[in-house]
Amino acid sequence: MKPDDPSDRSKRAMDPVRPDGHETLVRSLVERARGGDQAAFRELVELHQDRAYALALRITRSPADAEEVAQDAFVRAWLALARFRGESSFGTWLHRIVARRALDRLGVLKTRRGREAVVDEAASLPEAAAPVAHGDHEAAARARRLERLVLDLPAAQRAAVTLYYYEDRSVEQAAAILGMPENTVKTHLARARAALRAALEQEGP
């Protein structure tokens, strides 16, 4: 379960939704893993570790904590796999574990340190927008600026923004992953948009 380079993993984690063949493979691996096949579960880890790490990183804002959260989430997923009934996709179920462990981790850090972890460099996180054309420095600067502002959002808002905008999840899916009512997710998204608008206006063009 040794991770790849964080920057490479973060970029790959924002790949478009995979085709149906991927889900067929995942379902097959899940069934084998539920039967105790550790090799099948290792394949599931390899298929999902990039996105799990990226989600944890956006919530915790710390590569070290994100790594710990992602690995803990996979351990918990393995232990709970017998209870996975397939009502949602394995990826959604796993993301729910990752998000909750990441939010729990923030609570532990806040108690231990009295404040949240220091913001890491935005370059180590998933891209804020689609890749820009070579030489389009202005667009790249805007993407980095937005990325930095998203990092400053409260954890719950940051998680909602990550799932809804970066991972293209629906409000319903984001609510299921975060364990929140849909209206709460909508509130977090609305407040995040308002905060980002205010921050952009304050900083100017």
Overall average pLDDT of the 71-96 stretch? 89
Per-range mean pLDDT, top range of 4-13, 30-39, 128-137, 166-175? 30-39
Confidence at residue 111, expressed as pLDDT on a 0 to 100 scale = 52
Q: Is residue 113 exposed (0-12), middle (13-18) or buried (19+ Cβ within 10 Å)?
A: exposed
Instruction: Enumerate domains of the chain plus CATH numbers.
Output: 6-203 (1.10.1740.10)
What tens digit of pLDDT does each residue of 126-169 get? 444 444 444 466 767 777 788 888 888 898 899 898 888 888 88
What's the rounded Cα separation, in Å, for the pair 140 and 134?
Answer: 9
Confidence at residue 69, expressed as pLDDT on a 0 to 100 scale = 92
0.85 exceeded by the pTM? Answer: no
As given in the structure block, the two tokens for residue 136 are 């389009």
Overall average pLDDT of the 174-185 stretch? 90
What torsion do the CA atoms of 14, 115, 76, 71 make, to the nearest 10 degrees? Answer: 50
Per-range mean pLDDT, top range of 4-13, 106-115, 141-150? 141-150
Instruction: Assess whether pLDDT exceeds 60 at residue 28.
Output: yes
- Which residues does 63 contact at the CB level (< 8 Å), separation at least 6? 6, 57, 120, 124
Confidence at residue 132, expressed as pLDDT on a 0 to 100 scale = 45
Query: Among 173, 197, 202, which Cα is nearest to 185's?
Result: 173
